[in-house]
Amino acid sequence: MREKKSYVAINNITCEPSYVERMEHLFKTRAKAIEKMPGFQHVEILRPADPDQPYLVISHWDSPDAFDGWTKSEAFKEGHARAFKDMDQAKKEGKKCPMMSTFGKYEVIGN
């Protein structure tokens, strides 16, 4: 039997202490648009045990193309609109961005 390959994208999110509650609220009340995307498998949102570490958003996909389709979709823009608005507002007010993110892409080679 051939094993189904899995592709993982991990978003590392750091946020200002004053924004933690708001960011967690955004995740808890998210639109869940990602779940409707072709090739999506599942997502995990992890809160760090150490507040100096980033939050992790780990999404599992059938392929890199499926993930790229999500990041280029209207659903992606819609799903992130509230956070993007918060970041734009901070910029307009000359404040530090309340959160930053970096991400990596991985192919699962074993479990």
CATH number for the domain that contains residue 58:
3.30.70.100
Number of domains comprising the chain: 1
Distance CA 105, CA 72 (A): 16
Q: What is the pTM of this model?
A: 0.85
Structural domain includes residue 91:
yes
Structural domain includes residue 1:
no
Q: What is the pLDDT of residues 70-80, one digit of tens each?
A: 999 999 998 89
Distance CA 11, CA 67 (A): 12
Structural domain includes residue 82:
yes
Structural domain includes residue 2:
no
Structural domain boundaries enclosing 70: 7-107
Which of the four pLDDT bands, split at 50, 70 and 90, describes residue 49? very high
Structural domain includes residue 93:
yes
CB 85 within 8 A of CB 98: no
Q: Above 50 in pLDDT, residue 35?
A: yes
